[in-house]
Structure 1
Amino acid sequence: MSAIAVKHKPPIVTTLGFIKAVQAWKHLRSEIASSVAGGINNIKSAMLDESKFDVHLKLWALRIPRELCKVATRILNGYLLDRARIKPITEDPSCEKNRYMILSEKVQNVDLSDIPNPKIDELKGLCKIEVVPYSLTLGYSYWGADHVLKQILPPGLEVPSSFETIVKYSIGVTLDFLFELFFPPPHNCHIAHLNIADELIPFKDVIAKVIYDKNHPRIKTVVNKVGTITNEFRVPKFEILAGKDDMVTEVKQYGATFKLDYSLVYWNSRLEHEHIRLVSQFQAGETVCDMFAGIGPFAIPAAQKGCLVYANDLNPDSIRYLKINAEINKCLLVRVIQNLIFPFSNPVSNAAHRVNGKTKSDDIRLAGELEEVPCNNLSNPEGIEGSPINADASVAAVKRRPESCQEAKSIKGGTNKRMRGSESFNTKPWEHVDHVIMNLPASALQFLDAFRGLIQRRYWKGPLPWIHCYCFVRSNETKESIISEAESALNASIRDPIFHRVRDVAPNKAMFCLSFRLPEDSCSNEDITNSVLHSADIKS
């Protein structure tokens, strides 16, 4: 068995060497922090003196009639000022008929001896050459964030030398100093998210101000993640470092618009390509179950493609924004399941647990409600017909609205050109599902036991579903060990699994997607209906 290749720095050969390296790194960070501690109180005022960034250039310029500027530009190619965002041709303040052609810094002499004679002769053939001095000041507003940060942070601290585009207007730097810029115009995404390393914490305010200054008005809020993610909804805590306190924004991906409150729900723009990759495997008319749907990065594009999507999430705020996003994108094929979870591995216990409507937490309703998104404007939900569990029993039945997709599409404002909204989905979810998405890499493998005996062959139609389970894999783990963990949860053997590397999340940790068809051995050939109802009667 070979370990999964995870991109990381060259390994340290010995344990002793590793310990020494860790100690040296901690010592360096401690020294850096102590060396700047004394001046922390003056960081904002001293380090952001914008006048300190002024660079004064003493240059030469040629006064040329404006109608000859195009020809003169060709002649002086390579000898005009070449600075980003600075035009080498500007107006002559003394005469509107003339223009100044600003020469490069390498032209030092007023006699233009730094320019080849043939070029000077050609210019003289056009007009009389007049050389004038020209002063140019490059101030704080001219310099980019990387240049400014290099100037203000102490030596020894790693600062970004360039910005890497991750997604449209999303930029990241290093694992220690990660900057994500969410700004897909023309939408209202305006949040810059910083993960600032410990040694940079004393400078977090000045870093945020620079990021804000260099990206405003596109960026209106700069936040920093505080601590580690510990809540059950996997939503980080943020502190606002610059700009206004507004965490509600919009992001656009693959033609879909996602509205979200960044402080209440999870979102990661760097997963855009993975969303596209997985959804591209779905076909119009298929049924998809998104177990950890969030605000809909998989569910919305799948519905736009013409799939019927059952979407669930534990976070009520994610459910709220999922419904909003389905309405914004006019997705009629999204069915939202609120708080429908399966904490037990035994299918009879699961079903009985759902029948009784009891949960581990009083805030979660296992019985859940299956409903269409608000954009359908449908009301008066009725009980599902054809359920394996007797509808006459005293059971908290799962509910859905009876209208078909064809009927829903006829509602004013409910069309979507990108999906086949006219298709009717008559198959019930206990009869057939094509794909199940489990995008919770920290613990999705532990949820696979929910599939033990969940599918009853008596009701199921067609092939078993594809399971797409996301997980984190460390450098000391193997594909075989991950598959073994999945098989243990399923209590069945997996055939022909597919491993797809999504992205590196740390030097020795990567995110993978494990795709496989649900094993036949995980299905139940028994009718558990009577067992469930009998169990419910006993407990009641």
Structure 2
Amino acid sequence: MNILSPPETVREMTILNKEKFTKRVQLPYIMIPSMSIGRIIGSRVVRSCSVPILKRIKPIMNTEHPEMKLLLLNPDNLNEERENELVEAIRTLCNITPDIMSKEFTFTYDDFDIKSSIRAILPQGIEFSGYSQIGHIAHCNLRENLLPYKYTLGQLILDKVNWCKTVVNKLDTISSEFRFFEMELLAGEKNYITTVVEDKIKYKLDFSRVFWNSRLSNEHKRIIEKLDKNSIVYDGFAGVGPFVLPAAKKGVRKVFGNDLNPESVKWMKENLKINKIDEKLVDISNLDCGEFFKTIVKNDLLSYKDLEYQPSNAHIIMNLPALAVTFLPHLKGLLEGEDYKKYNFNIIVHCHLFVKSSVDVPSSWFSEEASRIVKSNIDIPDLKFLELHNVRNVAGRKEMFCASFELPKDYLFSLSNTTKRRSDNKEEEDIKKIKLS
């Protein structure tokens, strides 16, 4: 363990004891004339040999004599060669020949930063899995081997992260009806109503009742970049509005945001007001996604068939990766009986899904499996994708994908297309067999 790290006595601490963090340390230092400090602070050698900035301990410290300063050195970074290099650099910069002396300092709990403190209290070889920021809430997702230390970890985060007022840990259980995770309070206030800012848009939410993942900010932005001023947006699992609000802010033609969770709908409406978005531009509903497709999406699409000025495109967003693919069949025959020639715009689906493996596989397997899962659920074996985007790695063998594709006209306008597609596919396979024989 490094000299500037917490003492070994805190190792495997399941109940936080701040007194055990107290540690006496001999730190080497050099006396520098105050008037020469400006010359040395830009030196690479000086910076690499100095102590890091801690709460009370800093590289440059005052002394009893205003004309002199202490340059505190990091003993973990010093050896004879580095000392000689440092002395020579100061001699050149300040025209003095410095002596390296030492002074005792007492480090306490408050002096150690969050990273070194967490590393010190955990058993050797066990790494902390990190946390996400949701407003004033630090959200942990602790692996099983970290659970004995969860309350110590929670208090460390609360004490040492300036913005943090609440620390929670995600439990394995998830709301059966809605998509928010159950959680336990590890430290701080039991206050889950918070505000998150993403791409200059404010989202107020109750983190204990709705879903929010700060790691999806790039994905939100990626989808929004595909929209233009004449796009229509249908979000079937809208949550508190991370696609709905930026789409409306961008000034698309119309946005429809739907979520089954009434809490999500409540906060989505509140967020429209907070961000001063014209509520006439956004239609919000509280329906099952399948019902949303069959009623609101269908009726809105029907409203364009006789219009001269039609949308440039329509985007259906389905960001519920655990279940979204199971709702794809609800799009089948949505406009059955209608004349497809009256619709001069394409409908593009962005369906998020998880892809996981129980064994190690090549990275290419995940995109192939994502393709298979979507094709199987929508029942279009020859579906062509505009993009199969790997959103992020969720865990070791679990990836999140977004499958983007243009909804085929025959799938949208006819209920009988699947049988035809299967027979066409079979004929293609038979032809291939004949050619190969």
Tell me if TM exceeds 0.5: yes
2:59 is equivalent to residue 88 of structure 1: yes
Partner of 1:485: 376
Is the partner of 1:83 in helix, strand or coil?
coil
**What letter corresponds to residue 369 of structure 2 in structure 1?**
T
**Whole-Å Cα distance in 2 between the matches of residues 234 and 120 of structure 1?**
60
In the alignment, what sits opposite 1:234? 179
Q: Does the residue aligned with 2:28 lie in a helix, a strand or coil?
A: strand
> Structure 1 242/89 Cα, relative in aligned 2: closer, same or farther at 3 Å?
same
**Structure with greater contact order relative to length (CA < 8 Å, sep ≥ 6):** 1
Q: CA deviation at 1:261?
A: 0.8
Determine the C-alpha separation between the residues in 1 that align with 2:372 and 2:383.
13
Q: Which amino acid aligns with 1:454?
A: L
Pick aligned residue for 1:326 from 259, 265, 272: 272
1:256/1:263 CA distance change after superposition, 3 Å: same
Report the residue type matching 1:515 in the other structure. Answer: S
**What's the CA shift for 1:259?**
1.1
Note if contact 2:18-2:109 (Cα within 8 Å) is conserved in structure 1.
Answer: no
Q: Distance in 2 between matches of 1:52 and 1:479?
A: 49
Structure 2 match to 1:33: none
CA distance in 2, matches of 1:497, 1:301: 22
Match of 1:314 in 2: 260
Structure 1 residues 344 and 263, CA, compared in 2 at 3 Å: closer, same or farther?
closer
Larger radius of gyration: 1
Correspondence 1:123-272 to 2 at 5 A: 134-155=103-124, 158-160=126-128, 177-182=129-134, 189-215=135-161, 217-272=162-217
Give the counterpart letter for 1:54 in structure 2.
Answer: K
The equivalent of 2:318 in structure 1 is 438
Give the match for residue 335 of structure 2: 455
In the superposition, relative to structure 1, how do residues 133 and 227 fare at CA in structure 2: closer, same or farther (>3 Å)?
Answer: closer
Aligned partner of 1:510: which letter? E
Q: Which amino acid aligns with 2:409?
A: E
Aligned residue number for residue 61 of structure 1:
30
Counterpart CA distance in 1 for 2:49 and 2:58 is 8
Give how far 1:469 is off. Answer: 1.1
**Is residue 325–residue 374 contact of structure 2 (8 Å, CA) maintained in 1?**
no
Whether contact under 8 Å (1:299, 1:334) holds in the other structure is no
Q: Cα 1:340–1:54, aligned 2, differ >3 Å: closer, same or farther?
A: same
Change in CA separation of 1:500 and 1:251 when aligned onto 2, cut-off 3 Å: same
- Aligned CA distance change for structure 1 residues 462 and 235 (closer, same or farther; 3 Å): same
Matched, 1:470 2:352: yes
- Following superposition, the deviation at residue 147 of structure 1 comes to 2.0
SS at match of 1:478: helix
2:156 partner letter: V
Partner of residue 8, structure 2 = none
Distance 1:76 1:66, change over 3 A: farther
Preserved contact between residue 49 and residue 86 of structure 2 (Cα < 8 Å): no
Q: Is 1:338 the counterpart of 2:260 in the alignment?
A: no
CA distance in 2, matches of 1:76, 1:270: 35
Distance 2:193 2:245 in 1: 19
**TM-score (normalised: structure 1):** 0.62
The one-letter code sitting in structure 1 at the alignment partner of 2:23 is D
Shift of 1:313: 0.6
Answering whether residue 243 of structure 2 is matched by residue 298 of structure 1, we say: yes
List alignment gaps of at least 5 residues for structure 2.
1-10, 358-364, 416-437
Question: Aligned partner of 1:461: which letter?
Answer: Y
TM-score by structure 2 length?
A: 0.75
Letter in 1 for 2:51: R
Cα gap change, 1:231/1:80 in structure 2, threshold over 3 Å: closer, same or farther?
closer
- Name the structure 1 match of 2:434: none
Deviation at residue 213 of structure 1 after TM alignment: 1.5
Distance 1:329 1:121 in 2: 58
| Partner AA of 2:399 in structure 1 | A
Q: How far apart, in 1, do the equivalents of 2:407 and 2:369 lie?
A: 21
Provide Cα deviations, 1:150-192, integer angstroms capped at 9, x if missing partner: 3223345x123xxxxxxxxxxxxxxxx342133xxxxxx1101
**1:80-121 CA distances to partner (integer Å, 9 max, x unpaired)?**
85121143322222x323333345548899xxx957886686
Instruction: Report if the CA contact (8 A) 1:487-1:493 is conserved.
Output: no
Let me know the Cα RMSD of the aligned residues: 3.9
Q: Which amino acid aligns with 2:171?
A: V
> Is 1:279 the counterpart of 2:224 in the alignment?
yes
Deviations 1:450-476 (A, max 9, x none): 212212534853123111111122347
Counterpart amino acid of residue 411 in structure 2: S
Residue 509 of structure 1 is aligned with which of 384, 393, 398? 398
The alpha-carbon distance between structure 1 residues 136 and 514, as it changes in their structure 2 partners (threshold 3 A), is: same
Check the 8 A contact 1:266/1:294 in 2, yes or no.
yes
8 A Cα contact 1:310 1:335, kept in partner: yes
Shift in alpha-carbon separation, 1:483–1:115, aligned structure 2, 3 A: closer
Partner of 1:523: 412
Does the 8 Å CA contact 2:348/2:405 hold for their aligned counterparts? yes
Letter in 1 for 2:327: F
Mapped to 2, the partners of 1:147 and 1:68 lie a distance apart of 32
| C-alpha deviation, 1:317, in angstroms | 0.7
Could you list the per-position Cα deviations for residues 9-50 of structure 1 after superposition, in whole angstroms to 9, with x for gaps in the alignment? xxxxxxxxxxxxxxxxxxxxxxxxxxxxxx99x832xx5233
Q: Secondary structure at the match of 1:465?
A: strand
- Count of matched residue positions in the alignment of Structure 1 and Structure 2: 383
